[in-house]
């Protein structure tokens, strides 16, 4: 059965997350419906990561096995046809070897969190960013964020429902920068805990408001205590932007 790697973009607002659920719409389910119409068979979509309800993606990755051997452009275009009118698009379909696995072959995941600090309500960016009504100090947020780099016990920024075996994770790179009225946090790691990025972002906003100093943020991290986490940021501004794979994972991506 030919295997295809899919690079996917979606607006997470109408969905209860990536993962298929019994009584709520999901991105995975809509992709599986589209793939089954294309292949006339039962198709399982394996994703690189399980984004939460309302979280968006610019570069989610998944793979599917089809019974039909189709051209890559045909797979992409047919899936997009059957996905309508859902706000989900397959950006690329790439034929890969059976050794490639969207989740287990991944070496790095990249996330972006967008914040706009203005009092005026959002119009065009509504549902796509987190609006906060006060000015943020992006430089202080960036300084605090550097304490995250490396391997730590991230219990403070771990959701109570997280099913990971350990709260210890490694963050490879994180940055906070301002672009006009928008403040962007970018973060890279092999894997993340449940709602880790949103928990981190909410606490960094406390730094941006001047409620916490960068050292307060470090103390909260070092405490490894969930009660020390600041308010959790909403899903609106979070995007899975890319997933990396080694060249020998059955794909050149």
Q: Which is more confident, 218 or 253? A: 218
Delineate the domains of the chain, giving CATH numbers in brackets: 3-105 (3.30.70.580), 108-241 (3.30.70.660)
Give mean pLDDT, residues 119-135. Answer: 95
pLDDT of 250 > 70? The answer is: no
Q: Tokens at residue 19, please? A: 């993962």
Average pLDDT over residues 203-226: 98
pLDDT for position 251: 58
Asked about 216 being catalytic, the answer comes back as no
Q: What is the pLDDT of residue 135?
A: 96
For residue 249, is pLDDT > 80?
no
Contacts of 128 (CB under 8 A, 6+ apart): 11, 56, 114, 236, 237
Query: What's residue 178's pLDDT?
Result: 98
pTM of the model as a whole: 0.94
Distance CA 133, CA 119 (A): 4
With a pLDDT cut of 90, the percent of the chain lying above it is: 93
pLDDT at 161: 83
Assess whether pLDDT exceeds 70 at residue 252: no
The Cα–Cα gap between 175 and 41 comes to: 44
Give burial (CB, 10 Å; 0-12/13-18/19+) of 111: buried
pLDDT computed for residue 247 by the predictor = 81
* Residue 157: partners with Cβ closer than 8 Å, 6 or more residues away: 193, 196, 199, 200, 203, 221, 229
pLDDT category of residue 160 using cuts at 50, 70 and 90: confident
pLDDT digits (tens, 9 = 90+) for 37-85: 999 999 999 999 999 999 999 999 999 999 999 999 999 999 999 999 9
- pLDDT in the model for residue 253: 40
pLDDT at 22: 87
| 52, 159, 172, 244: the active-site residue | 52
User: What mean pLDDT is reported for the chain?
Assistant: 95
């Amino acid at each position: 059965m030919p295997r295809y790697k899919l690079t996917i973009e979606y607006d997470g607002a109408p969905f209860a997350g990536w993962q298929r659920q019994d009584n709520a719409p999901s991105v995975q389910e809509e992709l599986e419906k589209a793939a089954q119409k294309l292949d006339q068979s039962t198709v399982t979509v394996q994703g690189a990561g399980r984004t939460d309800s309302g979280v968006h993606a610019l570069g989610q990755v998944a793979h599917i096995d089809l019974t039909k051997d189709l051209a890559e452009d045909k797979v992409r275009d047919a899936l997009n046809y059957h996905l309508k009118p859902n706000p989900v698009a397959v950006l690329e379909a790439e034929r890969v070897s059976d050794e490639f696995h969207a989740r287990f072959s991944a070496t790095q995941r990249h996330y972006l969190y967008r914040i706009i600090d203005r009092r005026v309500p959002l119009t065009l960016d509504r549902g796509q960013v987190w609006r906060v009504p006060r000015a943020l100090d992006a430089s202080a947020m960036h300084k605090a964020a550097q304490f995250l780099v490396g391997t730590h016990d991230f219990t403070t920024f771990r959701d109570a429902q997280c099913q990971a075996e350990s709260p210890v994770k490694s963050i490879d790179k994180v940055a906070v920068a301002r672009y006009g009225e928008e403040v962007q946090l970018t973060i890279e790691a092999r894997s993340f805990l449940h709602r880790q990025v949103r928990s981190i972002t909410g606490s960094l906003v406390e730094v941006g408001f001047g409620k916490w100093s960068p050292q307060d943020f470090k103390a909260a991290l070092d405490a490894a205590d969930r009660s020390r986490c600041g308010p959790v940021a909403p899903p609106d501004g979070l995007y899975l932007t890319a997933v990396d794979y080694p060249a020998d994972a059955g794909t050149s991506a």
